[in-house]
Chains A and B, each alone.
Chain A
Amino acid sequence: MSQSQKNKETEQLFAEIYRKHYSELCIYAMRFLKDEDESEEIVQEIIFKLWEQREQLETVNSLRSYLYRSVHNRCLNYIKHQLHKDKYSEKAYIEMKKLELESAEDYNNKELEEKVHSAISELPDRCKEVFQLSRFEGKKNKEISEQLGISIKAVEANITRALTSLRGSLDKYLKVELIVLFAVILRNII
Chain B
Amino acid sequence: MEHLEIIGKYLTEESTSQENESLLSWINTSPENKNEFLETCAIWHATQIKKTSFDYTKAYNTFSQRIQETKTTETKVVELQPKTRSLWTKISIPVAAAMILAAGLLYLYRPTNELHTFANTTNSVETVKLPDGSVAYLNKSASLTVPSEFTSNTRPVSMNGEVYFEISKNKAKPFIISVGTASVTVKGTTFNVAYDKVKELCNVIVNTGTVVFAAQNNNRVTLTKTEKGTLDLKTNTVTESINDDLNFMSWKTGVLVFKNSSYKQVFNDVERHYGITINYPSDIDSKLALTATFDHQNLKSTLNVIELMFNVKIEKQNSIFVVRK
Contact = CB atoms under 8 A, between A and B. Distances in A.
Interface of A: 8, 11-12, 14-15, 18-19, 22-23, 26-27, 30-31, 34, 36, 40, 43-44, 47-48, 51, 88, 90, 92-93, 95-96, 99-100, 103-104, 106, 109, 112-113, 115-117, 120, 131, 134-138, 140-141, 156-157, 159-160, 163-164, 166-167, 170, 174, 178
A112 B52 CA distance: 19
26 contacts: A11-B197, A19-B60, A22-B56, A26-B52, A26-B54, A27-B48, A27-B54, A30-B49, A36-B52, A40-B59, A44-B63, A51-B67, A88-B17, A96-B10, A99-B38, A103-B41, A104-B45, A109-B42, A112-B42, A135-B44, A138-B318, A140-B13, A160-B1, A163-B8, A163-B40, A164-B1
A8 B38 CA distance: 44
B14 interface: yes
Most chain A CB within a 10 A radius of its CB, from B7, B60, B66, B181 = B60
B324 interface: no
A92 B317 CA distance: 34
B197 to A, nearest CB: 6
A23 B48 CA distance: 13
Contacts of A100: 38, 41
Given A51-B67, A141-B14, A27 B5 contact: no
A104 B24 contact: no
Contacts of B67: 48, 51
A158 B181 CA distance: 58
Contact of B20 (A40, A90, A112, A134): A90
A16 B82 CA distance: 32
Interface string B1-30: 100110111111110010011011001000
B52 A135 contact: no
B51 interface: yes
Nearest to A24: B54
A106 B38 CA distance: 12
A92 B23 contact: yes
A137 B318 contact: yes
B40 A167 contact: yes
B13 A34 contact: yes
B93 interface: no
B7 A163 contact: yes
Most buried by A among B23, B34, B52, B62: B52
Contact of A22 (B8, B21, B59): B59
Contacts of B7: 163
B53 interface: yes
Interface residues of B, number: 52
Nearest to B6: A160
B49 A136 contact: yes
B200 interface: yes
A140 B13 CA distance: 8
B59 to A, nearest CB: 5
B63 A14 contact: yes
A94 B7 CA distance: 14
B48 A92 contact: no
Most chain A beta-carbon contacts within 10 A, residue among B46, B62, B317: B46
B56 A96 contact: no
Given A103-B41, A140-B14, 16 more contacts: A19-B60, A22-B59, A22-B60, A30-B48, A34-B13, A51-B67, A96-B10, A96-B27, A109-B42, A116-B47, A136-B51, A141-B14, A160-B1, A163-B4, A164-B1, A167-B36
Interface pairs A-B: 3 shortest CB-CB? A92-B20, A22-B56, A18-B60
Contacts of B62: 44
B20 to A, nearest CB: 4
Nearest to B14: A141
Given A22-B54, A88-B17, A164 B10 contact: no
A40 B14 CA distance: 24
Contact of B43 (A34, A134, A163): A163
Nearest to A28: B48
